[in-house]
């Protein structure tokens, strides 16, 4: 979804309105509203703000918030809301607890609806500590085809995948996968070390963990000696 589509859907949901009701109020087709919310129809900011105003948005500056702005004021749980002092049993050490979503009067922004369409995805370093997070949209209950509460970012710690266009500091969005995916860049653990490697299946019992810095390298290892954490579906850089 687009940013404005997100905002429109969240404001409509917060006011318990259907796309048909919004369309009638704005004098457009229901499909127009649904397409804008889904991000398949791009409209200008001023058009989106007019629709938001017709829905009943009182504070015009809410429409100027980016996803990062929303993240700065709200911690999101995609599956359910938890109290701030409640931690998950499967929560890795170093990850801060998820905060509950509470509206602060009429100025609360989207709140309960946000948890169903956005997720704060943690960023892990090579020592498996959370160093930050990024807000990603949930589409069809998934993030890039994976469970929202299992998605994570891994920051490349070195240049071992330079030949695969992954440089130190780049962020790999990881979707869980517990078995080798031939030809994929995967986050794996071997000898207590977590790393990004390109996977080449040798047979049912062995794989190549491929690295490529100044020259190509590959380790031929038994599958049962490797923990496959997930598959990289996207690489992001920070300028």
- Give the mean pLDDT of 125-132: 93
Q: Higher model confidence: residue 71 or residue 41? A: 41
94: left (phi over 0), alpha (psi -120 to 50) or beta: left
pTM: 0.57
Does residue 87 carry a pLDDT above 90? no
d(CA 22, CA 24): 5
* Whole-number pLDDT of residue 10: 79
User: Measuring CA to CA, which residue among 217, 227, 119 is closest to residue 173?
Assistant: 119
From residue 239, give the alpha-carbon distance in Å to each of 73, 83, 160.
24, 35, 20
Residue pair 76/60 in contact (Cβ under 8 Å)? The answer is no
The domains of the chain are located at: 3-64, 68-152, 156-236
User: Measuring CA to CA, which residue among 184, 71, 73 is closest to residue 137?
Assistant: 71
CATH of domain 156-236: 2.10.109.10
Of 77-91, 125-139, 212-226, highest mean pLDDT: 212-226
Condensed to tens digits (0 to 9), the pLDDT of residues 171-192 reads 999 999 999 999 999 999 999 9
Condensed to tens digits (0 to 9), the pLDDT of residues 140-176 reads 788 888 888 899 999 999 999 999 999 999 999 999 9
Q: For the range 27-36, what are the long-range contacts, defined as Cβ-Cβ under 8 Å and sequence gap of 24 or more? A: 33/8, 36/2, 36/4, 36/5, 36/8
> What topology is assigned to 3-64 in CATH?
434 Repressor (Amino-terminal Domain) (1.10.260)
C-beta neighbour count of 85 within 10 angstroms:
8
- Give the mean pLDDT of 189-216: 95
């Amino acid at each position: 979804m687009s940013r404005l589509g997100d905002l429109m859907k969240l404001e409509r949901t917060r006011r318990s309105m259907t796309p048909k009701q919004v369309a009638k109020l704005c004098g457009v087709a229901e499909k127009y509203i649904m397409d804008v919310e889904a991000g398949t129809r791009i409209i200008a900011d001023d058009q989106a703000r007019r629709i938001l105003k017709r829905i009943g948005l009182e504070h015009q500056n809410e429409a100027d918030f980016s996803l990062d702005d929303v993240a700065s004021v709200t911690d999101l749980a995609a599956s359910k809301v938890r109290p701030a002092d409640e931690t998950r049993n499967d929560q890795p050490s170093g990850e801060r607890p998820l905060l509950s979503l509470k509206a602060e009067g009429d100025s609360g922004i989207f709140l309960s609806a946000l948890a169903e369409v956005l997720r704060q995805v943690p960023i892990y370093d090579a020592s498996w500590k959370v160093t930050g997070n990024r807000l990603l949209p949930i589409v069809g209950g998934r993030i890039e085809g994976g469970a929202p509460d299992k998605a994570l970012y891994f920051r490349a710690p070195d240049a071992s995948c330079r030949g695969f266009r992954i440089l130190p500091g780049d962020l790999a969005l990881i979707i869980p996968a517990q078995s080798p995916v031939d030809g994929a860049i995967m986050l794996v653990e071997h000898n207590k070390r977590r790393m990004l490697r390109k996977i080449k299946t040798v047979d049912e019992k062995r794989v190549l963990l491929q690295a490529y810095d100044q020259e190509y390298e590959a380790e031929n290892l038994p599958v049962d000696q490797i923990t496959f954490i997930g598959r990289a579906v996207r690489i992001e850089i920070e300028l």
